Amino acid sequence: MNLFYFLKGLVIGFSVAAPVGPIGILCINRTLSKGRLHGFVSGLGAATADALYGCIAAFGLTFITTFLLTQKIWLQLIGGLFLCYLGVQTFRSQPAEHAAAAKGEGLLRSYTSVLFLTVTNPMTILFFIGVFSGVGISKSAFDVASALTMVAGVFLGSACWWLSLSFAISLARSKFTNNSLIWVNHISGAVVLTFGIFALYKLL
């Protein structure tokens, strides 16, 4: 039964991560500009946030869910502003001739920035509440093992997507000239900035 929940978690995690939104654009851009590892580690930030929200949904932590949803406006404001900041930063960044060295500080920044950006989208928790309820995860104590197994599947499914994406994009990196990478930064930055402006517009 736990294997069943784990496999379901894999599918859910992969499905949540796959749609290309601002997180996907950032990870693609970082893979092209900084290398495969930076792109993958950025994706792990999103996978961690997905697992965190999955835990909240699976264990029925209603006080956290209520807090996140009541603070939705502030979280959306912070997330929108942060998206705008990342968009401008990406637009203005200059591509490196070679993939950046995978240093701890740079990797940590890549990870935490996407983790923060994903956490500031509390509507994700509603998705997990609906999905976990649909597959029979309850709040009772005897379901703890199943819930943890499914959350682990969500994390690994999401991580598999980001690993696949960063690996695929890195294979194409050598085909990009410096001018091409400049345009990639401009387009990526503009798209991420647009997502940020749209998030702020929805607050009006």
- Give the model's pLDDT for residue 104: 59
- Give the model's pLDDT for residue 141: 43
**Model confidence at 144: pLDDT above 80:** no
| Paired tokens of 163 | 């690993």
61 φψ region: left (φ > 0), alpha (ψ -120 to 50), beta (else)? beta
Residue 10 · residue 150 · CB < 8 Å: no
DSSP conformation letters of 36-81: HHHHHHHHHHHHHHHHHHHHHHHTT-HHHHHHHHHTHHHHHHHHHH
For residue range 72-127, list pLDDT tens digits in order. 888 888 888 988 988 888 888 766 554 444 455 688 888 999 999 888 877 777 77
Q: What is the domain count for the chain?
A: 1
For residue range 20-79, list pLDDT tens digits in order. 788 888 888 888 888 888 899 999 999 999 899 888 887 777 777 777 778 888 888 888
Domain extent, residue 96, equals 3-202
- Give the model's pLDDT for residue 135: 61
- Give the model's pLDDT for residue 43: 93
Residue 13 · residue 80 · CB < 8 Å: no
- Give the model's pLDDT for residue 195: 85
Residue 185 · residue 93 · CB < 8 Å: yes
Distance between CA atoms of residues 184 and 169, nearest Å: 12
